[in-house]
Structure 1
Amino acid sequence: MNTFKCLSLGLGIVGLVTGVYAAYLWNIASKIPVTPTHLQFGGIEPLDQAMSNAQWIVGLLQSIKQSGIFNQRAAKWTAATVLFGSAASFLGLLS
């Protein structure tokens, strides 16, 4: 096997691994639960409807933020996957 084929194979494998990791991060991002703040601190739900709604909204915003962090990481790993896959294809053409 010549050098370009070996490099192409190696980059393809790295692209596969980074792609699977990116998919794992997307999966985690999609499963972040919404927990209202009164449950986060072991309390009971307030009787006041406005206060209860506010605590649910805060919990929702916290879960959106956490999901966004995982989405951002997954997007970066997906970009790396495309880079490694493209390099593997280019080196495959040269061999």
Structure 2
Amino acid sequence: MAFYGDPAELDRLAAGLRDKAARIPDKAARIRDDAARIRDDAAAYEARGRTARWVSGAATAYQRQLSRDRVDTDRQAAEIEHAAAARCVSRERVL
């Protein structure tokens, strides 16, 4: 047995890492697709809320909250996309 461990076991572990790394781009693409759907859903939700014809303080507050929610959703979608990009960078380091 070598100083660093069983060569066959090390090869098996390395192969497992390569297999996992090879799947990262697909997972990252799915994550980016999810982020796009989140943004689309938020935009549709905001658009529906803007068509409301209410005239009151509550209606104004509702529409302001829609805008805040949209900003939060965009931020979260950007974080998801950033995480997907980080996965791809990590994959490159493995390979």
Say yes or no: TM over 0.5: yes
Higher helix share: 2
Give the unaligned 5+ runs of structure 2: 1-13
The alignment status of 1:57 with 2:95, answered yes or no, reads no
Counterpart residue number, 2:49: 34
Alpha-carbon displacement from aligned partner over 1:5-43 (angstroms, at most 9, x marks no partner): 313212222212211111111111222222588x7xxxx
Counterpart residue number, 1:48: none
Q: Which amino acid aligns with 1:58?
A: A
| CA contact 1:25–1:70 (8 Å) conserved in 2 | yes
Displacement of 1:53 in angstroms is 6.6
**Normalization by structure 2: what TM-score?**
0.61
CA–CA separation in structure 2 for the residues paired with 1:84 and 1:35: 37
Counterpart residue number, 2:84: 81
The alignment status of 1:5 with 2:18, answered yes or no, reads yes
The alignment status of 1:19 with 2:32, answered yes or no, reads yes
3-state SS of the aligned residue for 2:49?
Answer: coil
Give the unaligned 5+ runs of structure 1: 40-44, 46-51
Provide closer, same or farther for how the CA distance between residues 90 and 8 of structure 1 changes in structure 2, counting only shifts above 3 A. same
The aligned length equals 79
Percentage of pairs with the same residue: 9
**Normalization by structure 1: what TM-score?**
0.61
Quote the RMSD (CA, aligned, Å): 2.7
